[in-house]
């Protein structure tokens, strides 16, 4: 027999994916975990009773999706050049070269796709944990969140590339080998780009009973239409304990010979 809770989760995710604009969203699973991944939900305010996103759950996860792409390439080259020159009947010259080189390149890329929730009012209530990681929540009026433990974190798109190459050459003249060469190089590149997680509204009210963890994220109360995003003083955050850390966009290139 199908699990009714699993079906309800799948129904919610499907609704968010194929019906992005609706009047109200009400999801009530007080003894379960609600998870929303890589979805875009917009609740329009047709009248004063519309434009609401209401989620009541034991645990709530609003997350980005993650795409991973790995590539690898190998190249090899060989060259042989020989030249023989005859000068008259008693003189000649022989020259030539042999070379070989190879290179290997690998690339690993991880890309996130944020979830987006937009409404007139967003109301999130959980009895245990709320994780908002890789998401943008925007309410034109109020964003209210009540939970026991809260994590609001941005995510990072990551790219890692490695290149390794080497080559050797041999020069030949009339008297034999006249030159030998060898080269080797490698280059490593690592980059991390922050994809911001944000919670914004005209009025933001957050009540965390235990602990709040903020990692490279934005929580702000701004007036609708304020393109500069100025703080309007209507942000309220109540928590028993708070920790915050930053995430940075970085690029590191290490070429070596």
Q: For 228-244, how does the pLDDT look when each residue is reduced to its tens digit (9 = 90+)? A: 778 899 999 999 999 99
Closest to 40 in 3D by CA, of 115, 131, 105, 94: 115
Query: What is the structure's pLDDT at 19?
Result: 44
Is residue 184 scored above 80 in pLDDT?
yes
Give the residue, 95 or 166, on which the prediction is more confident.
Answer: 166
Burial of 108 (0-12, 13-18, 19+ CB in 10 A): middle
Is residue 4 scored above 60 in pLDDT?
no
Interval 234-256 mean pLDDT: 91
Q: How confident is the model at residue 98 (pLDDT cuts 50, 70, 90)?
A: confident
CA 205/CA 36 separation, integer angstroms: 21
Interval 215-220 mean pLDDT: 95
Q: How confident is the model at residue 45 (pLDDT cuts 50, 70, 90)?
A: low
Query: What is the structure's pLDDT at 2?
Result: 41
Query: What is the structure's pLDDT at 3?
Result: 46
Is residue 28 scored above 90 in pLDDT?
no
Q: How confident is the model at residue 12 (pLDDT cuts 50, 70, 90)?
A: very low
- In terms of phi and psi (left: phi > 0; alpha: psi -120 to 50; beta: otherwise), the region of 46 is alpha
Interval 99-114 mean pLDDT: 92
Query: What is the structure's pLDDT at 208?
Result: 98
The pair of structure tokens assigned to 183 is 């080269």
Query: What is the structure's pLDDT at 9?
Result: 44
Q: What angle do CA 112, 200, 39 make, to 5 degrees?
A: 35
Look up residue 10 and give its DSSP letter: H
Q: How confident is the model at residue 89 (pLDDT cuts 50, 70, 90)?
A: low
Average pLDDT across the chain, whole number: 84
Give the residue, 48 or 239, on which the prediction is more confident.
Answer: 239
């Amino acid at each position: 027999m199908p699990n009714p809770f699993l079906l309800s989760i799948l129904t919610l995710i499907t609704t968010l994916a194929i019906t992005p604009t609706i009047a109200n969203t009400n999801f009530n699973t007080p003894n379960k975990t609600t998870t929303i991944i890589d979805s875009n939900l917009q609740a329009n305010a047709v009248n004063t009773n519309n434009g609401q996103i209401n989620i009541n759950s034991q645990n709530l996860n609003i997350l980005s999706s993650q795409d991973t792409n790995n590539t690898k390439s190998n190249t090899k080259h060989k060259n042989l050049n020989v030249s023989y020159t005859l000068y008259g009947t008693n003189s000649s010259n022989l020259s030539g070269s042999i070379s070989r080189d190879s290179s290997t390149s690998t690339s690993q890329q991880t890309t996130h796709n944020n979830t987006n929730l937009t409404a007139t009012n967003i109301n999130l209530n959980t009895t245990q944990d709320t994780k908002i990681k890789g998401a943008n929540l925007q309410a034109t009026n109020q964003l209210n969140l009540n939970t026991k433990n809260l994590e609001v974190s941005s995510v990072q798109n990551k790219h890692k590339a490695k290149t390794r190459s080497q080559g050797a050459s041999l020069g030949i003249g009339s008297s034999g080998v006249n030159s030998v060469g060898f080269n080797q190089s490698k280059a490593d590149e690592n980059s991390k780009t922050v994809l911001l997680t944000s919670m914004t509204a005209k009025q933001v009210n957050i009540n965390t009973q235990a602990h709040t963890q903020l990692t490279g994220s934005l929580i702000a109360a701004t007036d609708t239409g304020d393109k500069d995003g100025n703080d309007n003083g209507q942000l309220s955050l109540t928590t028993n304990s708070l920790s915050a850390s930053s995430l940075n966009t970085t690029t590191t290139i290490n070429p070596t010979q």
